[in-house]
């Protein structure tokens, strides 16, 4: 997923970005609301991680403004405010989840996956595609009962297709899902990942529409 992290604490922001990068997500990290707002005008994100107290404003005000403008991007609040009233205010402002600092990075990964499943229209973590059994919770795949090992990038690409079954995703769309701002991307990177996935999962799993993009090839 392409994730926007809005967090002004350097240590926490770095730790979150590194953890999510290991999970295969592309993370753009902003420390000010103004920079986050500019990023949202130019980039489509799958999820926003939002601190509540930023140098140039309040996260709740930012969230309310986004929701009032029709932005439906999932939002998880990350904050040290742990009162019930704070949680209620965050959820009422339009947040999808609320995580109190300090938190475990693996719990954050799990909450991100859960929110993504809800927005993908399938809260069930188990997905069956032909001879494939996919567990979205622990990011595991079995092919005819045999565990298939995927790299973080391969999983991220496969997940992008899983989240939009039947939809065609272009090469630039997939690159945007996999790589953050400033990342160096070789021209054939997506093709290489697609080739590896087909070898591991079966050549029929991902279909190519020449000149357009890729989609799941298994109903």
SS3 112: helix
Question: Is the pLDDT confidence value at 59 over 90?
Answer: yes
Are residues 98 and 153 both part of a single domain?
A: no
Q: Of the candidates 119, 149, 171, which is a domain's last residue? A: 119
Which of 28-37, 64-73, 168-177, 182-191 bottoms out in mean pLDDT, i.e. has the lowest? 182-191
Are residues 111 and 15 both part of a single domain?
A: yes
Range 117-122 average pLDDT: 71
Give the domain extent around 162. Answer: 126-216
Q: Of the candidates 64, 87, 119, which is a domain's last residue? A: 119
The pLDDT of residue 123 is 64
pLDDT digits 0-9 by tens, 75-97: 999 999 889 999 999 999 999 99
Q: How many domains does the chain have?
A: 2
Of the two residues 40 and 219, the one the predictor is more confident about is: 40
Are residues 143 and 100 both part of a single domain?
A: no
Are residues 110 and 137 both part of a single domain?
A: no
Judge whether 218 and 132 are in contact, CB under 8 Å.
yes
pLDDT digits 0-9 by tens, 128-138: 888 999 988 78
Q: Is 11 exposed, middle or buried (0-12, 13-18, 19+ CB in 10 A)?
A: exposed
Output the domain CATH number for residue 135. Answer: 1.10.10.10
Report the C-alpha gap between 217 and 165 in whole angstroms: 9
Q: How many CB atoms lie within 10 A of CB 80?
A: 12
pLDDT band of 121, cuts 50, 70, 90: low
Q: What is the DSSP letter of 169?
A: B
Output the domain CATH number for residue 26. Answer: 3.40.50.2300
pLDDT digits 0-9 by tens, 177-214: 787 776 667 778 899 999 999 999 998 999 998 888 99
Are residues 136 and 165 both part of a single domain?
A: yes
Are residues 106 and 164 both part of a single domain?
A: no
Are residues 113 and 158 both part of a single domain?
A: no
**In angstroms, how far is the first alpha carbon of the chain from the final one?**
22
Are residues 8 and 102 both part of a single domain?
A: yes
Phi then psi dihedrals of residue 153, to 5 deg: -70, -40
Here the tokens at position 188 are: 């054939």
Report the C-alpha gap between 176 and 158 in whole angstroms: 14
Are residues 139 and 68 both part of a single domain?
A: no
Are residues 76 and 161 both part of a single domain?
A: no
Residues 6+ apart with CB under 8 A from 6: 30, 31, 33, 36, 48, 49, 50, 51, 54, 59, 62
Q: Give me the half-sphere count of Cα atoms (radius 13 Å) on the Cβ side of residue 207.
A: 10
pLDDT digits 0-9 by tens, 130-177: 899 998 878 889 999 999 999 988 998 998 888 887 889 998 888 887
Are residues 115 and 130 both part of a single domain?
A: no
Are residues 13 and 109 both part of a single domain?
A: yes
Q: Of the candidates 64, 98, 119, which is a domain's last residue? A: 119
Report the C-alpha gap between 171 and 163 in whole angstroms: 16
Range 66-79 average pLDDT: 93
The pLDDT of residue 187 is 77
């Amino acid at each position: 997923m392409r994730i926007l992290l809005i967090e002004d604490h350097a240590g926490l922001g770095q730790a979150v970005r590194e953890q999510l990068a290991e999970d295969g997500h592309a993370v753009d990290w902003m420390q000010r609301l103004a920079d986050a707002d500019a990023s949202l005008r130019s980039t489509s994100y799958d999820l926003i991680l939002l601190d509540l107290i930023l140098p140039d404003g309040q996260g709740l005000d930012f969230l309310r403004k986004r929701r009032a403008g029709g932005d439906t991007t999932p939002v998880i609040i990350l904050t040290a405010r742990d009162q019930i009233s704070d949680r209620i205010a965050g959820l009422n402002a339009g947040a999808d989840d609320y995580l109190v600092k300090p938190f475990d990075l693996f719990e954050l990964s799990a909450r991100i996956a859960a929110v993504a499943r809800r927005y993908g229209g399938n809260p069930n973590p188990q997905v069956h595609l032909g001879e494939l059994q996919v567990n979205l919770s622990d990011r595991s795949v079995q092919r005819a009962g045999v565990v298939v090992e995927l790299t973080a990038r391969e999983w991220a690409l496969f997940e992008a297709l899983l989240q939009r079954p039947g939809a065609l995703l272009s090469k630039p769309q997939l690159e945007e899902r996999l790589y953050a701002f400033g990342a160096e991307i070789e021209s054939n990177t997506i093709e290489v990942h697609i080739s590896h996935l087909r070898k591991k999962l079966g050549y029929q799993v991902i279909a190519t529409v020449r000149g357009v993009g890729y989609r799941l090839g298994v109903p």
